[in-house]
Amino acid sequence: MYPGPHAQAHPDRPAIVMANSGDIVGYGELERRSNRLAHLLRAQGLQRLDHFSVFMENHPRYAELCVAGERTGLYYTCINSYLKADELAYILDNSQARVLITSAARLDVAMQALARCPRIERCLVVDAATLPDDPRVIDYAQAVAACPDTPIADQRLGAAMLYSSGTTGRPKGILRPLPDQGPENPLPLMAFLSKLWQAHEGMVHLSPAPLYHAAPLAHLGVVLRNGGTAIVMEHFDPEHYLALVDRHQVTSTQLVPTMFSRMLKLPPEVRSRYRLKSLQIAVHAAAPCPVPVKEQMIDWWGPIIHEYYGATEGLGFTACDSAEWLAHRGSVGRVLLGDLHILDDNMQPAPRGVPGEVWFKTASPFEYFNDPERTRQARSADGSMSTVGDVGYVDDDGFLYLTDRSTFMIISGGVNIYPQECENLLITHPQVADAAVFGVPNDDLGEEVKAVVQLMPGTPATPETAAALIAFCGEHLAHMKCPRSVDFIDQMPRLPTGKLYKKPLRDQYWAGHQSRIL
């Protein structure tokens, strides 16, 4: 994430456009702002390989914070802006951050977390009219105003150290080794992503998701290193998204499957109102896309939709940088089978078409920060392969299908059941807005399949509706994969990135029981 030569060649070209406010940050302004923060971080004593954190909603100044980290040799951790104080404090402490940058909108939570984080030396606050009485807290604009807007003398390459979403347990930091080189030379991962995502100068990218998440942040970095313009949505709204594609003639975008589903549920007359022909590529990540949803999107948008693997941990592509992907109806992508292995619980190859854990030849070294045991679990014994816990299979044509996460596997009567298949089916039912499937206690079988469903408006949450949904599953799935019961919920706990926060849902049913899954 380094504007570099584009700031010199095209200082007035928009680098960032905020979708709601219309605020524009040009390349020259981005260069000057990030240089000022780089000087401030050095003045604070941060040197190469030190850490700072960003706790902020999508904001016009978000990019400059990351660019400053990338040109000072620092690790910067962008934190989920919806976290509570205890969750924020955990990541601040675990990441060993010395500086926190937050916004007025998130200041109350940040101050509660700071009380538990003595390692934080300075908290910089953007847009605050007043500041709390804490010597560590200072106004961001005032602090950087006194700093030069030229590059620091010792520019070195920095990188994001992001945390997993914590949907299956406590968040984990994913750290990549940083070579001692200038910021104009990106990590090989960024060059790979630029090629994979068909980046080019002058591209117009629409980013509808929170920038603290791996895929949107990586896309922003690719856009800036290629001299493009990023349209950043403060919040996702399906119709507003389509209007932005039309208005800005967007050429690339990155979404999550939930966003596809919400656009597909718009009335046809609304969807047809907007021109989408400028789109050249649409990448989706964060979770496997249900086959019917992908088929409908390709029928609507054409063959521009690309899905990629590895967005479940940190900066995406944790273990598959050498794989090349080709979009295909209902599949995740064609893979280089020499680099990919589907293994059973004994680390032996699973038969073709049989699900197993997905392992890849390690092409981009990484480790879980301060967690050698978790790092060991993610690597094969000889260190040649890595996994992020996804489950899938390869068909006879060489296409990989992601079916679930290993941590969500249900063991019922000794049979392994992966709930993603049932979730993907339920979401296609016209009365279902969202769905989660997981295992709950069963005295006889150990676990049984439970579905929790968010219904479409106007659909009654009755036993008759539950029975109809169970019958619907039975028409398409083997009996053992179908839910034995269905509960209803007003709003599914999804992260703003679209990821389903399944653990708290599941934990409610395991209260008082010894859970098999940690």
Mean pLDDT of the chain: 85
- Shared domain check, 276 and 376: no
- Shared domain check, 377 and 437: no
For the entire predicted model, the pTM comes to 0.76
pLDDT at 497 over 70: no
Q: What's the pLDDT score for residue 335?
A: 45
Among 191-195, 223-227, 303-307, which range has the highest average pLDDT?
Answer: 223-227
Q: Which of 408, 426, 450 is the last residue of a domain?
A: 408
* E strand map for 346-505: 356-361, 367-368, 385-386, 390-394, 399-405, 410-412, 415-417, 432-442, 446-455, 485-488
- What mean pLDDT do residues 389-401 have? 77
**Lowest-confidence segment of 7-11, 41-45, 352-356 by average pLDDT:** 352-356
- Shared domain check, 350 and 273: no
Q: What's the pLDDT score for residue 330?
A: 31
Among candidates 184, 182, 162, which has minimal Cα distance to 173? 162
* E strand map for 5-114: 14-18, 24-26, 51-55, 75-79, 99-103
Among candidates 26, 286, 303, 279, which has minimal Cα distance to 167? 286
Q: What's the pLDDT score for residue 321?
A: 27
**CATH code assigned at 460:** 3.30.300.30
Q: What's the pLDDT score for residue 250?
A: 96
- What mean pLDDT do residues 103-114 have? 96
Domain that holds residue 345: 321-408
Please classify residue 324 by burial: count the beta carbons closer than 10 Å to its beta carbon, then call 0-12 exposed, 13-18 middle and 19+ buried: middle
Q: What's the pLDDT score for residue 512?
A: 58
**Band of pLDDT at residue 288, cut at 50, 70 and 90:** low
**CATH code assigned at 161:** 3.40.50.980
Q: Residue 275 carries which side chain, given as an amino acid letter?
A: R
In a domain, 5, yes or no: no
In a domain, 98, yes or no: yes
Between 270 and 396, the higher pLDDT residue: 270
Total structural domains within the chain: 4
Between 278 and 331, the higher pLDDT residue: 278
Is 385 in contact with 341 (CB distance < 8 Å)?
yes
174-220 per-position pLDDT tens digit? 898 899 999 999 988 888 888 888 899 999 999 999 999 888 999 99
- Shared domain check, 44 and 128: yes
In a domain, 361, yes or no: yes
Q: Which of 317, 336, 361 is the last residue of a domain?
A: 317
For residue 416, CA distances in Å to 441, 469, 507 come to: 15, 22, 20
Share of the chain above pLDDT 90, in %: 52
